[in-house]
Amino acid sequence: MPKRIAYLGPAGTFTEEAALVYDESAQLIPFPSVPAVAVAVDSGMAEEGVVAIENSIEGSVTDTLDLLIHESGVLIKKELVLPIEHQLLVKPGTEASEVKVIFSHPQALAQCRHFIERCFPKAEVVAALSTAAAVEEMMACEHPAAAIGTRRATQLYGTETLAHSIQDQASNVTRFVVLAPMDHTPTGCDKTSLCFSFAEDRPGVLCEVLQEFAQRNINLAKVESRPSKESLGKYIFLVDLEGHREDPAVSEALARVREKTALFKILGSYPRYAEK
């Protein structure tokens, strides 16, 4: 029986493309939102789930970060990095001069901001749950409309491509993660993601935590913060570091960080992505 993988659907999204790259033999199950993908994994409807977590133009996908921090016990098992090429899709026969509305996922709209501002400054921009959902909404729209989507969406929905490669940066890539009940065993070339916050804000408190990694020669690949959602000015810090949580030096550093923080959560250890 093929593995069941949940992903942000419907068919034709970049997340579906990432899921196919990850395991083309799996049974792919579309869900309407990132939280729904996590619920599918949590509840056993799917063994794993694929979601976007970071883009080279727009940065972190906050829906995914907030889900991992606040809402779910799933862990990151693997990371994938895919090039993202956005297409401007329309109903067959629609001319650029007729387009009044442009649909897409907020991340896609942001990644194509300059194109939209320069070529369609008067068009109404409408957010959709996914790039594929945007194509469905565009096809059902009574007014001349366009959607920013994938090449595959053209095949699935019978659209025409009005423009291609419309992202603001040619080297646009997105990092996706595979969510599962358990993370990955050590491979020798791993990454660990975690989050933490402090009981009180005082000078040097973050530095003390980061020193635990520096003293053990552990490289930090990314450090960022998200609002705690508890009160204004209170933040949760997210760190990606090189190494597996079971590596002796990493394990020791994580234990020390746990002692210094109020909230501490490991989001997963998994193989580091390497270009083939």
Q: What is the pLDDT of residue 9?
A: 87
pLDDT exceeds cutoff 80 at 26: yes
Q: What is the three-state SS of the chain?
A: CCCEEEEECCCCCHHHHHHHHHCCCCEEEEECCHHHHHHHHHHCCCCEEEEEEEECCCEECHHHHHHHHHHCCCEEEEEEEEECCCEEEECCCCCHHHCCEEEECHHHHHHCHHHHHHHCCCCEEEECCCHHHHHHHHHHCCCCEEEEECHHHHHHHCCEEEEECCCCCCCCEEEEEEEECCCCCCCCCEEEEEEEECCCCCCCHHHHHHHHHHCCCCCEEEEEEEECCCCCCCEEEEEEEECCCCCHHHHHHHHHHHHHCCEEEEEEEEECCCCC
Equal CATH topology for 4-84+172-180 and 190-271 = no
Q: What is the pLDDT of residue 202?
A: 84
pLDDT bracket for residue 243 (50, 70, 90): very high
How confident is the model over 119-147, as pLDDT tens digits? 999 999 999 999 999 999 999 999 999 99
Domains of the chain, residue spans: 4-84+172-180, 87-164, 190-271
> Minimum mean pLDDT among 85-89, 150-154, 209-213: which range?
150-154
**Rounded to whole angstroms, how far apart are CA atoms 81 and 22?**
10
> Minimum mean pLDDT among 39-43, 71-75, 125-129, 178-182: which range?
71-75
- State in Å, rounded, how far the first CA of the chain is from the last one: 29
Cβ within 8 Å of residue 273, ≥6 positions away = 79, 80, 81, 175
The topology (CATH level 3) of 87-164 is D-Maltodextrin-Binding Protein; domain 2 (3.40.190)
What dotted CATH number matches 190-271? 3.30.70.260
Class of domain 4-84+172-180: alpha beta
Cis peptide before 10 (omega within 30 of 0): yes
For residue 194, what are the β-bridge partners? 239, 266
pLDDT exceeds cutoff 70 at 15: yes
State how far the alpha carbon of 50 is from the alpha carbons of 14, 178, 269, in Å. Answer: 10, 5, 16
Mean pLDDT of 57-82: 92
Q: What is the three-state SS of 63-97?
A: HHHHHHHHHCCCEEEEEEEEECCCEEEECCCCCHH
Q: What is the pLDDT of residue 276?
A: 61
Q: What is the pLDDT of residue 1?
A: 81
pLDDT exceeds cutoff 90 at 201: no
By percentage, how much of the chain surpasses pLDDT 90?
Answer: 84
User: For the chain, what is the radius of gyration of the CA atoms?
Assistant: 20
Give the sign of the dihedral formed by CA 56, CA 60, CA 63, CA 65.
positive
pLDDT bracket for residue 204 (50, 70, 90): confident
CA-based nearest residue to 174, from 275, 21, 55: 55
pLDDT exceeds cutoff 90 at 113: yes
Question: Residues, the chain, total?
Answer: 276
Q: Higher confidence at residue 48 or residue 200?
A: 48
CA-based nearest residue to 118, from 150, 96, 103, 137: 96
Evaluate whether 150 touches 132 at the Cβ level (below 8 Å).
yes
Q: What is the dihedral of CA 218, 197, 268, 224, to 10 degrees?
A: -70
